Amino acid sequence: MNTYIQNSLRLLVGTLALGSITAQAESQFSLGGGVISTSSPYAGTNSETLFLPIITYEGERLSFKGFSLDYKLVEQQGFNWSLVLEPGDNFDTSDSDLAAIKALDDRKLSLYAGTQVSYTASFGKISASATHDVIGHGDGAKFKTNYSYPIKLSKQLMLVPSVGVELNSSDVSNYYYGVALGESTTYAPYELGSTVNYNAGLFLMYYINKNWNVNAMVNYKQLDSDIEDSPIIDTDNTTTVMMSVNYRF
C-alpha cells in the first residue's frame, strides 16, 4: 500500500476517535470524504495530498473508524475498556526519490491488536492502549496515551485540542527506522532501542445540521532523537492537515 495512503488512514483513525467525543450514544453510521495532506519522515520523500473516503460505525459495543475496530468490554460511568485492532506503520521505499533508499527493503504494513482503557469526565478524556503487531511486520509492541478536551465554542462549533505520547518497542523502532546488517551498500547498519514520540493536535467540528458536519484537523508529531539520527530519516517531525465532510445517518 502507498506510504502516504496508509499513514493517512492511520492518522484518520485518531482523528475519528476525537470526533467520537461529541457523538451521540445511539448506534450511528456515517459516510464522507476528506482531503489529507501528510508528510513522511523518510529521506527523499515529500508531502502529498490525497482524497480518502471516510466510513464510521458507532454501535453500542462495536465501532469501526477508518480501518480501526474497537469492541467495548466494559462501559460504566465514563470508564471504557475495549479490545482494539488498528493499522500501524509502513514505508514503500519506491516513494523516495533517492536511489539508496529505493534499494532498501520495504517496511511492510503492521496490524496491532490489544487493549485500551479510557475515562471521560468534565476535565476531558484520557486514554491508554497497549498493542502488539499480529502479522509479523515489526513484530513488536506499542504503548500510547492521549489526552483531549472538547471546547464548545458555540451550539454548532466544537474544538478539541489533544496531546499524546507513543512508545515503540525496540523491534518496532528497528524495523521501521533502522538499517539491518547487509541491507544497504550506502548506509551503515543502524540499530535503535525503544523510542518515544510526542504528538499534539487540534480538531474542529462544525455541525451544519443533525446529519451533516464539516471537520478540520492538524496534527504534529515530534520524533524521538534516535529516529531522527537514523541515516534513512531526514526530519525530526511530521505534520498532517485534514478537512472532511461527513453525513451521519
| 209-245 tens-digit pLDDT | 989 999 999 999 999 999 999 999 999 999 999 999 9
User: How many whole angstroms separate alpha carbon 136 and alpha carbon 179?
Assistant: 18
Q: Beta strand pairing status for 62-65 and 195-207?
A: unpaired
Percentage of the chain exceeding pLDDT 70:
89
Question: Nearest Cα to 83, choosing from 44, 117, 127?
Answer: 117
Q: Is the pLDDT reported for residue 120 higher than 70?
A: yes
Q: Give kind and range of the element (H or E) at residue 34.
A: strand 28-38
Using an 8 Å Cβ cutoff, are 218 and 238 in contact? no
Buried b (16+ CB within 10 A) or exposed e, 228-240: bebbbbbeeebeb
pLDDT in tens, 54-105: 888 988 899 988 778 999 999 999 999 999 999 988 899 999 999 999 999 9
Q: Is the pLDDT reported for residue 12 higher than 80?
A: no
Which long-range contacts (C-beta less than 8 Å, at least 24 apart) are formed by 82-86?
Answer: 82/115, 82/116, 82/117, 82/118, 83/113, 83/114, 83/115, 83/116, 84/112, 84/113, 84/114, 84/115, 84/116, 84/129, 84/131, 85/111, 85/112, 85/113, 86/10, 86/13, 86/111, 86/112, 86/131
Identity (one letter) of the amino acid at 168? N
Question: Nearest Cα to 215, choosing from 225, 205, 224?
Answer: 205
C-alpha cell belonging to residue 180: 539491518
pTM of the shown model: 0.88
pLDDT in tens, 129-138: 999 999 988 8
pLDDT in tens, 101-117: 999 999 999 999 999 99
- Residue 17 pLDDT grade (very low, low, confident, very high; cuts 50, 70, 90): low
Dihedrals phi, psi of 207, to nearest 5 degrees: -85, 110
C-alpha cell belonging to residue 42: 523518510
Higher pLDDT, 61 or 6: 61
Which whole-number Å values give the CA distances from 167 to 105, 144, 210, 243, in the listed order? 24, 6, 38, 28
Angle at the Cα of 220 from the Cα atoms of 217 and 226, rounded to 5 degrees? 155
